[in-house]
Chains A and B, each alone.
Chain A
Amino acid sequence: MMTTRTTELLVGIFIVIGSASLFMLAMQVSNLSTYTGDEGFEVEAIFTDASGLKVRSPVVMAGVTLGRVTAISFDEATFKAVVKMKIEKQYSKLPIKTSANIYTAGLLGEKYVGLLPGSVDDQCEEELLAAELEGRKPDTQGLECGPQYLAQGTTIKFTQGSLVLEKLIAQFVSQMGSGGSNKDDHKEHHE
């Protein structure tokens, strides 16, 4: 029989190893180290086709993950997909004209939302420029001044949905078909 002290020591080591394994699983194996919490703002984008996109799919700009998709729903009025995504708090200066596209990572990879930055939109500045050109007094009333950024509740206006392989093939085939018939028409015309 071992002394109580040795037993306690070994049990302590056992608990340390066990906790260390749990910690390693959490940090090294899973995505906890990249988990950023719930802070951030939610923006919305409306796609004609959001096939393949899932909740928790990454939202990426320039290859850097800025946030995640939080909800995908269907709008019965427009028959389009409404994708809600949460962008991390520190990326608060995305221009309002940013466009959203659904891309595929790799050949068989997962779908993700790719954001492309647009020009910084400042309605005041535009009005001032226009007034200067036209030689009239600028009228900034009712216009929002300063650069506008994506914020809580903004809807991204410029979107392009998923490219579905079948659709692409169908388009390609129909183009081939019409192209071929056109050629034939052309020949007949010449003769």
Chain B
Amino acid sequence: MRNSIENLGHKGLDFFQRLGRGNILFANILMGIPSLFLRPSLIIQQVFSVGVLSLVIILVSGLFVGMVLGLQGYNTLVKFGAEESLGVVVALSLVRELGPVVTALLFAGRAGSALTAEIGLMKATEQLSAMEMMAVDPVRRVLAPRFLAGFFSMPLLAAIFSAVGVIGGYFVGVGLLGVDEGAYWSQMQANVDYEDDILNGVIKSFVFGIVVTWIAVFEGHDAIPTSEGVSRATTRTVVHSALAVLALDFILTALMFGES
């Protein structure tokens, strides 16, 4: 009995310690960002490994998600004789929800895990300590560019995902199922609002980008410097990112689209 309560207390303290370390790291990264703009090559290198290398998976999954939405939406809408609004269904679900959320999940799996593994391995092989020995701040040199790259790449990837998805829905809806082409686009334009839908989706993807890269960078920096520790940290990155993204998505959706 006493042991289990002790255990609980230990876990609680552990949780809050990690949360505190995460916040301190976040503040340090933010403070390291201004000096980064003096060395943009660092950021470009990271945008390449975080953003460009995730491009293929985003393009392919966006296309397929859009095509599935087209098929499923058509099957439901045709029962009500409303298949003309297929464009609205595809565009709204992509721009508001699926674009940011699925991109963030894929991003966590593709780029977040790689970031954690890379930083964790740097720590395990004492590269980070070696940098400190040479008076190079590893937070500024290693973590901040990766964080900034994730922050920039995620909204771009989400926008690409949504755009490709809309085109995928167009292929299936107009090309395969025979929805009227004009109705597909005009209904979409009439019902998707620039501020309410597109901008809110972009804001969502910025938030998810911050959260996913923050978790990834923190887990890597906080990993136990053994091979097992790095593998655990990588797993935690994916799991925690997915949970954080889905929970935050609910909160953001409630805030953005809750009323009216």
Contact = CB atoms under 8 A, between A and B. Distances in A.
Interface of A: 4, 7-8, 10-11, 13-15, 17-22, 24-26, 28-35, 56, 108
A29 B202 CA distance: 14
Contact of A29 (B95, B157, B160): B95
Contact of A21 (B51, B82, B159): B159
Given A4-B41, A14-B47, A15-B156, A21 B194 contact: no
A29 B190 CA distance: 9
Interface string B35-77: 0000001001101100110010000000000000000000000
The size bracket of the interface on B is 20 to 34
Contacts of B45: 4, 7
A29 B159 contact: no
Nearest to A10: B52
B197 interface: yes
A6 to B, nearest CB: 9
17 contacts: A4-B45, A10-B48, A13-B52, A14-B156, A19-B156, A22-B155, A25-B95, A25-B163, A29-B95, A29-B188, A30-B95, A30-B192, A30-B197, A30-B198, A33-B189, A35-B194, A108-B82
Contacts of B188: 29
A8 B42 CA distance: 11
Nearest to B90: A29
B14 interface: no
B160 A17 contact: yes
A34 B192 CA distance: 11
A11 B51 contact: yes
A22 B95 CA distance: 11
B201 to A, nearest CB: 8
B192 A29 contact: yes
B198 A26 contact: yes
Interface of B: 41, 44-45, 47-48, 51-52, 55, 82, 91, 95, 153, 155-157, 159-160, 162-164, 166, 185, 188-190, 192-194, 197-198, 202
B95 A31 contact: no
Contacts of A8: 44
A61 B197 CA distance: 27
A17 B188 CA distance: 22
Contacts of B41: 4
B47 A11 contact: yes
Contacts, number: 84
Given A18-B157, A29-B198, A24 B163 contact: yes
B156 A29 contact: no
Given A25-B163, A31-B190, A33-B189, 20 more contacts: A7-B44, A8-B44, A11-B48, A14-B55, A14-B156, A17-B160, A18-B160, A22-B155, A22-B156, A22-B163, A22-B202, A24-B163, A25-B159, A29-B166, A29-B188, A29-B189, A30-B95, A30-B198, A35-B194, A56-B193
B134 to A, nearest CB: 22
A26 B155 CA distance: 14
Of residues A4, A7, A33, which shows the largest number of chain B Cβ atoms within 10 Å of its Cβ?
Answer: A7
Given A11-B52, A14-B55, A31 B159 contact: no
Given A18-B160, A21-B162, A24-B163, A11 B193 contact: no
B190 A14 contact: no
A18 B153 CA distance: 9
A21 B153 CA distance: 13
A26 B95 CA distance: 11
B150 to A, nearest CB: 13
A14 B82 CA distance: 37
Q: Which 10 A-B pairs have the closest CB atoms?
A: A18-B156, A21-B163, A32-B194, A21-B159, A30-B194, A22-B159, A30-B192, A21-B160, A14-B52, A7-B48
